[in-house]
Each structure stands twice: as structure tokens, then as C-alpha cells.
Structure 1
Amino acid sequence: MPVNIESLDLSKTAIKELPSSDWYTSYLDLSKTAIKKLPSSLESLFGLTSIRLFACGSLLSLSTSIHKLKSLEILDLQLCSEFQYFPEILKPMEHLTSLSLSSTAVKVLPSSIGNLIGLRKLDLHHCGDLEVVPNSIYSLSNLETLNFHGRWCLGKLPPVSVDQVRLLSLKELILAECGIKEIPDALVCLTSLCSLDLKDTEIKSITASIKQAGQPSSLCLTYCQSSPHCCNVLKQVVARH
């Protein structure tokens, strides 16, 4: 009979390969190991809710079968410095709420990331090689936090119109130390937006429609002091709120 292990913590061990024997767990922690890939048999762990692969320096990619983990809520790939290829999400994942790709080598996010329909937090902090973000990111209606902090290679966000944006839950947008020079108007006028971080960016202007953003007394703005136009608009918002 399969062995049922409530929590499997193999972090900081010498393990290089996860056995594909009969076992079940809801929590899997392989942080700071030399593991290179996850076995295809992992897709049979229907009760798995959390996978932590923090600082797995040899991990290169994940299988496209990741979508079969129907109960998965947390996927942490932070500091997987060699991780380059985030898989296509072939079917909707309703329960995945947190995805961290912070400090990975990912260059492109697949358009199928729009299938992460339950996602609340997407962390792309210091993804030094990220160049392409798909329009489908705007369809994540449950997303609350979107973090692009320190993404200098990302020259711009994909264009989008107001009627195309489905980010109805977005509260926090972090673009600090990011290489983009402008923000789509449709993002800054989101009524759900409470925190917008533009610190040390090259953004020279920002639409006055930002005055529509956020709830009274809850809009927190950090901005680049080198842009007088940007500062003036944001100061008006701060004064109003």
C-alpha cells in the first residue's frame, strides 16, 4: 500500500533525485538540494498542496504535467538560479494561489499562465533575464499582488485596453527598480489598486486617471523623484486621499 506522509521535508539534504515509489504527501520541501527535476510520478499526488524548491541551484525546469496537481496551492521556485523554463499550463489550476519565480533565470512567461485562475500572488522579483510577459497576465482576476521589482531587462509591459483588463482584485503593483518607462493606463486606474511602487524607475509620466485608483486613505505611492510630472500627479492623488 502507498505510504501516506503528511509532510515531507528533505530540505538541505544530499538528495539529487526524488524516488518515484508509492507515497503520498500534502507538503513537499526540497529547498537547498541538488535536485535537477521532479519525477513524472509526482502528478499522481493529488493531495499535494505545497511544493517548496527554494534555492535549488540545479533545477532547470518543471514538467507540463504540473497542472495535474489539482490541490496545489503554493509553488516556490525562489532563488532557483538555473531555472529557465516555466512550463505551459495546459489546463486551468483553480487552487494555486502563490507562485514565486523570484531570482530565477526565466526569460519568458508562457501565455498559458492565464490558466492559473486562482493565483493571488505572482512574484517575479529580480528575475534578471525575464524579457517577455504575455497579455494573458491581465486575465488573472484573483491576483492581488504582482511584483516586478528589479526587472531591468523588461522594457515594457504588454499593451492592454481598459475593457481587456480582468485584474479586478489587484491591490499591490510593484515596479520598483524596473526597466519599464511607462505603465498602461488600464492598470493605474484600477479601482482595487491600493499600493503602487515606482521607486527608482525611468517612468517619466503617469496618466491622471490614476486619481480613480484605490479606496480613500488606502492608496500608498512610492515614486521616482526625478520625474516632476509623475511627482505632481501622484502628489495630487496623495492629497486627495
Structure 2
Amino acid sequence: MNESTPSRPLARNIIEVLGSFGTPPTRGLQYFNVGNQSLLDALDEFYLSSYLQEGGAAYKMVVGDYGAGKSHFLYCLRDIAWERNFAVVKVDLSPTETPYNDQKLVYAAVASNIIWHEPEGISDESGLTRFLEGTLERITGGPLSLETLNNPLYRALVDTLEASPVDSPAYQTAVLAYFDALIRQQEERLDSLTRWLMGEKTSPDDTKILREVGVTGKIFRTNAFRMLRSLCQVIRALSY
């Protein structure tokens, strides 16, 4: 099977999704995409492979009628971003669920919808903690165990995160504590850190556990934008 031929499960999934729903599948668009390659190439050349790689930022809006192919185009752009080692988040903004004037809800939506992408497979998983776990396994080169604590790659990751500028020290500490608890399989600590990182409501018991690892404060509407910036800075420090 050459690179231009999808695997049998992927091909079947493409047919089923297109035939059943008429919406683009989340995987395999490159096998039937036509008509927009020049635009994708331009965005890749002038942004994904250059300006954004150098730390720049940009905002683009895709406008089109219903059924015009907006989602299809964005999925194609997403695939190029993954090839360039970008982290990708798909968030549906709405005035009720993710209003612009409530940054805490926006943060929670981003944390819930950041995508962990495996190059092989039919579907992806979402969620910040899954993203962190997958990144840790990818960097350290395998399944996690107590031996990971002494893995030079893990130690280098910790050193990099500790040395990286992050707006919120509490956020930086929470991510480092999450990695440590994940390796040590400390379920109670993981649960508390997960709720905090995901922007969910935390209990007094969570607060006690969080303080034990040096995480103080909570994610509120007033500091959520700072936490969102901190999330972006952490992702950058993780070599994305």
C-alpha cells in the first residue's frame, strides 16, 4: 500500500461518514480534497511554516454559506498544522456556552477541546489532561512508570518547564505536579489537578490536595485570560 492509498478501516470510515451525514470525516481528507490546495499552500508557507513557527500570532476568518466546505477546509488546515507540530483546539463559540465576556467558560472550552493527535488511527481524543499525558509519553519514549522519574528526557522536560516564562506560577506548578502524579499513579491527586486544570469546580478537599503540591488559587473569570495565556506558554514549552 503506497502513501496515497488510505488503509481499509480509514477508507470505510470516510465512506460511512460522508454517506451517512454529509459532513467531512475528521481523518483522511487528503484522499478526496480538491480545489483549495493553493490557498492551503499559501497559509502553510506564510504562516504555519514561517511566521507562526517564529512565535508570531495571526487571526483569520473563514466565511462561507452552509455546506460551502468551511469545516472541510479547516480540517485540511488542521492536518497541515499537525504536520508542523502545532497543537490544535476546535472550539465552538456561542453566546450561551462560551461567551466572549466570560473568559472562564472560554478557558474551560479550550481545555476540554484541545486535541491529542495520533498520526495512525481513525479518531482523536480531546482534553487537556489527555494531551498532557500523550505528550509526556511521546517525549519520554514509552509507557510511564516510576523509572520515568529518572529518565533523562523527563528530567530535561521538567527543567525546561521550570525555566520557561509562564504568566501564572500556579499554572506552571499544576502542570508539573500533574506529570509527577501521573507517573506515580496518585489517583486522588490526579483527580484534583484535573479538575483545576480543566477549569472545573473544585472542592475543599481538592484545595487541600492542591496546596500540598504548591497550587494556590483557582481559575476565575477575572484571571481566566491569564490562565489561557499560561496554557499557551506551557504548550510552547512542551516543544509545540
Taking structure 2 as the reference length, what is the TM-score of the superposition? 0.28
TM-score (normalised: structure 1): 0.27
Q: Kindly indicate which of the two structures has a greater share of residues assigned to strand.
A: 1
- Larger relative helix fraction: 2
Which structure has the higher relative contact order (CA within 8 Å, separation 6+)? 2
